[in-house]
Amino acid sequence: HTMWLNVKLLFRACMLRLRFLVQTVVNACWFRPFFSPSEAAGLGAGDCTSQLCRGSSPRSEKQAAERLPTPTSVNYHFTRQCNYKCGFCFHTAKTSFVLPLEEAKRGLRLLKEAGMKKINFSGGEPFIHEKGDFLGRLVEYCKQDLKVESVSIVSNGSMITEKWFKCYGKWLDILAISCDSFDEETNRLIGRGQGKKNHIESLNRVRNWCTDYKVAFKINTVINRFNAEDDMNEQITALNPVRWKVFQCLIIEGENAGEDALRQAEKFVIDDEDFQKFLDHHKHIKCLVPESNQKMRDSYLILDEYMRFLDCTKGRKDPSKSILDVGVENAVKFSGFDEKMFLKRGGKYVWSKADMKLDW
């Protein structure tokens, strides 16, 4: 009798302990949006514990999934290094890290599987690493292996060679060159230059190569205190880019403003009225695509050199975990990406050179 009594007491204690543990798990998981990667690895897609810990019905899960942005267009800043020192730069050389090629490819494949249709490679200066060969192999991989609709690059143009075009030009849809002025003195004041290199000569040389090797040519311009009154109508018309992106100088804490920043861009900033004046003065250029601070800040999916999404909603760049560690879906939740603004600013356009029907 005593033995059975002890068994019953032990059984009751175990049940109470189990109930406590279950309740603790439920309470802890109820408010968490998702498992950590290590937890997720131990749970199958149909695991009832996984369903319990998410604390939501299938319908609410579906609604949450629908709210997740699709990484249709991604900007991968695989290096922060640059040979220029633009005073307003908002992605500065805070590290010299670059992922190994195969790891970068693995991340790009994850993005493609998650819905990526356009990839833009930027920096820093993307041609600085391995003299552009690393970049070229990523361009070829995305177009040839992953079949990405559009592959583009943003560069200052100073390190591009014709040899690069011969090797990789056929895989590239769009090459954007940053040019803020057609006055070399203004470019020097901005910091867009290196030694005796002439930025405008580099721009024209690359523009000709784009025609020769059938790459769509684009120009990016940052409007700031030093070029806000420039008249670029004649030069832009002559260069005839497929798009002329005109940005309002943007402040990002920790990049070009604040104690830890490598740049101090306050002296470059212009207000909305001055930005609009520049746009009005160039309104007859059909390829002009304006982007104010409001349109620009949260409407880009930005990956840093570690393949972390950068959330700029608070005026700084708050990184997610790397997509290489947690996957695209878990990382993009922390990107701060405004998909509606992305569409509003014209983020989706004819971006494959095969569909542009350009007269080469």
Catalytic residues: 82, 86, 89
Strand 318-322 to 308-311 pairing: antiparallel
What is the spatial distance between Cα 251 and Cα 234, in angstroms, rounded to a whole number? Answer: 29
In which residue are the tokens 């405004």 written? Answer: 338
What are the beta bridge partners of residue 303?
Answer: 76, 309
What is the spatial distance between Cα 85 and Cα 113, in angstroms, rounded to a whole number? Answer: 36
Task: Report the alpha-carbon angle 128-328-41, nearest 5.
Answer: 125
186 within 8 A of 180, measured Cβ to Cβ: yes
Strand 243-248 to 288-291 pairing: parallel
Q: Which two tokens stand for residue 297?
A: 């800040």
In which residue are the tokens 């947690």 written? Answer: 326
Q: Which two tokens stand for residue 48?
A: 């009832």
What is the spatial distance between Cα 11 and Cα 93, in angstroms, rounded to a whole number? Answer: 63
Q: In what order do the strands lie in the sheet with 118-122?
A: 288-291, 243-248, 216-223, 174-178, 150-155, 118-122, 73-77, 301-303, 308-311, 318-322
What is the spatial distance between Cα 309 and Cα 179, in angstroms, rounded to a whole number? Answer: 26
Q: Which two tokens stand for residue 326?
A: 């947690």
Q: Show Cβ contacts of residue 286 under 8 Å, excluding neighbours closer than 6 positions.
A: none
Q: Show Cβ contacts of residue 4 under 8 Å, excluding neighbours closer than 6 positions.
A: none
